[in-house]
Structures are given as C-alpha cells and as structure tokens.
Amino acid sequence: MYVVDVGAQVIGVNYGLLGNNLPSADQVIALIKSNKINKVRIFQPYQGVLQTLKDSNLEVVLGTLNEDLQQLATDQSFAANWVKDNVLAYIPSVKFRYITLGNEVIPGQYANFVYDPMQNVQNALKAANVNVPVTTVVSYAVLGSSYPPSNASFGQDSSAAMSKIVPFLQQNQYPLLANVYPCFAYFGEPTTIDADYALGNPNASFVYDGTLSYNNMFDAMIDAMYVALEKVGGNGVKVVVSETGWPSAGADLATTNNAKTYVNNVIQRVLTGKGTPKRPETPLEAYIFALFNENQKPAGTEQNFGLFYPDMTPVYPVNIV
C-alpha cells in the first residue's frame, strides 16, 4: 500500500502558474529544492509539472479545478478516472501529501459539491490501495465570527457544508486546509490592529482570550478555526495552513519590508515545532503564498505575493533553515 507520512512539521510553498513569463517546471523544481523547501502545493493537475515532480522527493499537495467538483460529486467513474490519470499514474515517483477538493469554495456555488467528491476520490484511492489524505481548502470566509478565537464559529452560509465535511475529516483523521492571511485583516483595520501583532514580531503586545494569550495574529487565526471545528465535532481535526503570505506591492501597507518581515516570522514560527496556544502539542504546517509574482492575476496585491520574480531573483531574502 502507498501511504503518505503526515507527521512532520513543514514549510511548503504554493506554486501557481498564472503568469506568461514564468520559468520552466524543471527550473522551478530546482529552485524550490535549492531553497530547502520540501513541500509544494499546486492548484490543479498540471501534467507537465507532475512529470517534473517525479523523483524530486518533494511532497505534493494536489488540487482539483473547482469547475470539476460537480462532476466529481455525481459521477464515480469520473472521479476514478481523475485519480487514475492524476495520482495513480505518478505513484510512487511523486509523493502526494494531500489531495484537495475545492479551493475556497465554501461559501459559494460549489459549496454543496465538496463532501461527495471527497468521498468519491477517497473510494477511488482505496480501491487502488493508495492512502493519501483527502480534504478541501477553505478561506476565512467560512467563519461567521472569529474574534476572539474562543467565540469563533462557522457562518450560517457555510455551516451546512462544513457540518458534513468535518465528520468525514474527523473519522479519517485528515486535516482541514485553511488559508490564513493576517495582512487582509490588518489592511482593513490598520488603526485598531497593532502592526507588530499582524506581522508576528516578537515585541508585539499580548492579546488575551480567557486563559490563552496571543502575541501574533497568525496563531489567533488558526485557533479560531480550531474552535469552529470543535463546535461541529472536529475535535481531532488538524488545521494545515495551505496559504499564508504578505504582498510586497499593490497597497499602502503592502511593502517589501512588511512582506519580508511577515514571511520570515511565519517560517521561524513554524520551524520551532511548537503548536498554537490552543493546540500546543500539534506542530504547525504552513505553505507560503506564493512562489512567484504572477502577472495574469488581478492587478494590485494579487500580483505581488511572490517570494521570487519570474526571472527567479528573490523579491526579498527568506531564511528557511
């Protein structure tokens, strides 16, 4: 049986392809490895990228097209073929860490087409004697309330979908992948949120929530997701941070210095191996968004989340080790 090891704390990176000037896949994989990153997330099964990932020893988070969710939900044979073409064809040369069904689709038009695809893809994997965790990626929009973390819960427009997904994750001991962006909260309330708290600087003042205390928003946002999960029976579900980052341009507070500070603070935070105040024994796992500035994304901050420019020079220095 092919089984993925999901025990270690890690830093990974999101590898998007929404640019017309990006380097070739083999150059990209070499760049990732040269920077001591051992995990990569791709948003859909790009065959050229998957071919290049063979024997790279990188662990891969593989996404699906949101537009495929409805067919994956209603057609088991389509799900089986998807698994055959995009997973089984590459095992064991590609090390799959997670397979994600849907990226930030809850709440939304595809919210009711997440649970069934998860089951269908899992069935296809099990039929092939392959054990890779199957999950979904949520944004912070799934939460109706998030502050303080102890008050967090899934929103009314998300609770129906999450109340089906969370027991599936709990039963199978699969994680929930969540996109966590303190920058957007800070951009929205720069006069009320302390910059050091948003950036994760060690000199930030503590924010207290009952018996727990937080000196960075990253931890607080993760714990809010844990509280929401517990309220729908997900006490054993781990939160994996599938995206986090800070734009280096495109808004007043999107600066190279802020991006460098936040990303390096997150990396060092994760590499301590310590969990959050609510889950101190659960090591963190986070994927930096994103590898490159991508010029075919919407103008503004969205084009400026990269660690690297398309010519593979750093936007700012990052220390992974």
DSSP assignment of 115-148: HHHHHHHHHHHHHTTEE--EEEEE-GGGEEE-SS
Residue 67 annotated as catalytic: no
**Number of residues that make up the chain:** 321
pLDDT of residue 213: 97
Per-residue pLDDT of the chain (321 residues; tens, 9 = 90+): 544 554 454 899 999 999 999 999 999 999 999 999 999 999 999 999 999 999 999 999 999 999 999 999 999 999 999 999 999 999 999 999 999 999 999 999 999 999 999 999 999 999 999 999 999 999 999 999 999 999 999 999 999 999 999 999 999 999 999 999 999 999 999 999 999 999 999 999 999 999 999 999 999 999 999 999 999 999 999 999 999 999 999 999 999 999 999 999 999 999 999 999 999 999 999 999 999 999 999 999 999 999 999 999 999 999 886
What is 17-308's CATH topology? TIM Barrel (3.20.20)
- Distance (Å, rounded) from C-alpha 310 to C-alpha 292? 6
- Cα 139 to Cα 33, 180, 267: the distances in Å are 28, 7, 20
**What's the pLDDT at 8?**
52
Report domain extents, the chain: 17-308
**Predicted pLDDT of residue 3:** 47
Annotated catalytic residue: which of 59, 67, 104, 189? Answer: 104
What residues form DSSP beta bridges with 96? 60
Question: CB-hemisphere CA count at 13 Å for 231?
Answer: 20
What pTM did the predictor assign? Answer: 0.96
**CA 130 – CA 122 distance, rounded (Å):** 9
Q: Which of 67, 189, 230, 243 is catalytic?
A: 243
| 230 catalytically annotated | no
The SS3 of residue 225 is helix
